[in-house]
Structure 1
Amino acid sequence: MARPRKPLLSRDRIVETAGALVDAEGLAALSTRRLAAELGVSGPSLYNHFRTKDEILDAIADAVSTKIDLSMFAETDGRDWRTALHDWAVSYRAALADHPHIVPVLAQGPGRRPAGLRVADAVFGAMVRAGWPPAQATSIGALMRYFVTGSALGSFARGFVDDETAYDPADYPHLGQAHLLAEHRQKVDERAFETGLRALLDGLRMQYETLARPAETESPAADAASGPDSSVSAEA
């Protein structure tokens, strides 16, 4: 039997081709018709592997999530929670920076995506093991996703044109060097990310230190006022 001229269609091949298309031209470029043409197959062939375009986008996003390093959250790793969060955030941003057009899909959360769920599970589990209450561990995971995906959605430095005449000192007295930002985009954006990340982690460390302090002793009057039916509200 003669070998097919093109590789047989598979989920991996569809995701790889669709991901390359999104990377090159953005989300708007992806359609089942365009993707089928890129693969050299008929449109209905795609539906043997994916029911909708959204499922393909989910698969692309999950493929990006597999590139995020989670080793720092292993119980045997030895890094403290703050260092682990820092190193993970750097890896997380690097994965997104390589595929910026898929970031809006990732920013919606993991949904049912396996790799995305493994990321969420690893972060939450590591924070709880470190002593964070579950509710705050959830908030930390959400906070980190907001920060990292937000930083990957756009470039601050790229928002300025490289034409110095665009920033007249009479109108913008403090933007005399703004036209140089685009030229140094990567350095400016990475430094901004690191500055924000360290500030965020320093704030979390201050909160964490309050968890380690022993609770103040209740006064006898307060003890007397608390009957057996008194209740304590739990943080959701």
Structure 2
Amino acid sequence: MSTERRAPLDRRRVADTALKLLNEVGLDGLTLRAIAKELDVKAPALYWHFKDKQALLDEMATEMMRRMSADMTAQTTGPDRDWREAFFAMMCGLRTHLLRYRDGAKVYAGTHFTDMSYAEPMEAGLSMLTRAGFTPAGAARAWFTAYSYTVGYVIEEQAMGPDPASGDEGYDLDARAARLAPYPLAAQAGREMFQDHTRGFEAGLRAVIAGVDATLRTTPPTG
């Protein structure tokens, strides 16, 4: 008989296992039964910690935030750093972390964090924006606009593929262009929208930041 002791089953261990399994099966294939099997426990044992799959997704999103919190906060440090570049780096960091998980942005979007791990990077970002000349309300709107753009972009990016785990090679742009031949601008747009996701994301993010700078920043920077 094995004398090896397993780590106690708790919410964080379940969430960690679920995130690892997510990369293998995707969100649609992620079930409490599959997670229980991976943990070598009976499925009912998980219900002591999570009442349903949504509660588990909330904990998974929170674990993702725990892992990215320090990186995002660190981008705001440095007295001489331009706020635009710091804000850009924060959102690029969010995208990088979401892309570490198959369907990561879909898991993350619309969930409710189960602890305060999100507060430090958010506070750091809002403080940076208010120092740059945003009112507290303007900083909140600027933050949420860039944050929503980032999460939404990654949802689309991951939905389009390619997905090495499933063998999906991604959106067939030639077939799309052929279907849209009577609409040449729409056909051509596919190359811009669905290729080189990093370049496209960064170009759009810079447009978002320029937009909030022009419309929401009302006073000169302080300090």
TM range (shorter): 0.7 to 0.9
1:77–1:95 Cα change, 3 Å: farther
- Kept in 2, the 8 Å contact 1:62–1:113? The answer is yes
Secondary structure at 1:114's aligned position in 2?
coil
Instruction: Establish whether residue 79 from structure 1 lines up as the match of residue 81 from structure 2.
Output: yes
Instruction: Establish whether residue 120 from structure 1 lines up as the match of residue 122 from structure 2.
Output: yes
Amino acid at match of 1:73: T
- Kept in 2, the 8 Å contact 1:110–1:116? The answer is no
Which residue of 151, 154, 165 maps to 2:153?
Answer: 151
TM-score normalised by L of structure 2: 0.75
Q: 1:223: which partner in 2? A: none
Separation of aligned partners in 1, 2:189 and 2:128: 43
Q: 1:161: which partner in 2? A: 172
Higher alpha-carbon deviation: 120-129 or 4-13? 4-13
Higher alpha-carbon deviation: 46-55 or 11-20? 46-55
**How much does 1:178 deviate?**
5.6
Higher alpha-carbon deviation: 102-111 or 155-164? 155-164
**How much does 1:94 deviate?**
0.8
Rg larger in structure:
1
Amino acid at match of 1:96: L
- Kept in 1, the 8 Å contact 2:36–2:46? The answer is yes
Q: 1:38: which partner in 2? A: 38
Higher alpha-carbon deviation: 194-203 or 114-123? 114-123
The alignment yields a C-alpha RMSD, in angstroms, of: 3.3
Instruction: Establish whether residue 204 from structure 1 lines up as the match of residue 212 from structure 2.
Output: yes
Separation of aligned partners in 1, 2:94 and 2:173: 29
**How much does 1:157 deviate?**
6.6
Deviations 1:99-120, CA, capped at 9 Å, x for gaps? 2513234222654442233333
Higher alpha-carbon deviation: 118-127 or 81-90? 118-127
What's the % identity of the aligned pairs?
28
Number of corresponding residues: 208
Unaligned runs of 5+ in 1: 214-236
Higher alpha-carbon deviation: 47-56 or 91-100? 47-56
Instruction: Establish whether residue 99 from structure 1 lines up as the match of residue 77 from structure 2.
Output: no
- Kept in 2, the 8 Å contact 1:100–1:153? The answer is no
- Kept in 2, the 8 Å contact 1:33–1:43? The answer is yes
Secondary structure at 1:171's aligned position in 2?
coil
1:79–1:120 Cα change, 3 Å: same
Where does 1:124-135 land on structure 2 (aligned, <5 Å)? Answer: 124-135=126-137
- Kept in 2, the 8 Å contact 1:160–1:179? The answer is no
**How much does 1:126 deviate?**
2.3
Amino acid at match of 1:204: V
- Kept in 2, the 8 Å contact 1:89–1:144? The answer is yes
Secondary structure at 1:167's aligned position in 2?
helix
**How much does 1:144 deviate?**
1.3
Separation of aligned partners in 1, 2:188 and 2:212: 36
Separation of aligned partners in 1, 2:91 and 2:126: 14
- Kept in 2, the 8 Å contact 1:160–1:178? The answer is no
Separation of aligned partners in 2, 1:157 and 1:95: 18
Instruction: Establish whether residue 171 from structure 1 lines up as the match of residue 182 from structure 2.
Output: yes
Q: 2:164: which partner in 1? A: none
**How much does 1:8 deviate?**
4.1
Which structure would you say has the larger RCO, counting Cα contacts within 8 Å and 6 or more residues apart? 2
Q: 1:227: which partner in 2? A: none
Higher alpha-carbon deviation: 59-68 or 138-147? 59-68
Secondary structure at 2:207's aligned position in 1?
helix
Amino acid at match of 2:198: E
Q: 2:17: which partner in 1? A: 17
1:128–1:100 Cα change, 3 Å: farther
Higher alpha-carbon deviation: 121-130 or 133-142? 121-130
Amino acid at match of 1:25: V
Separation of aligned partners in 1, 2:181 and 2:8: 63
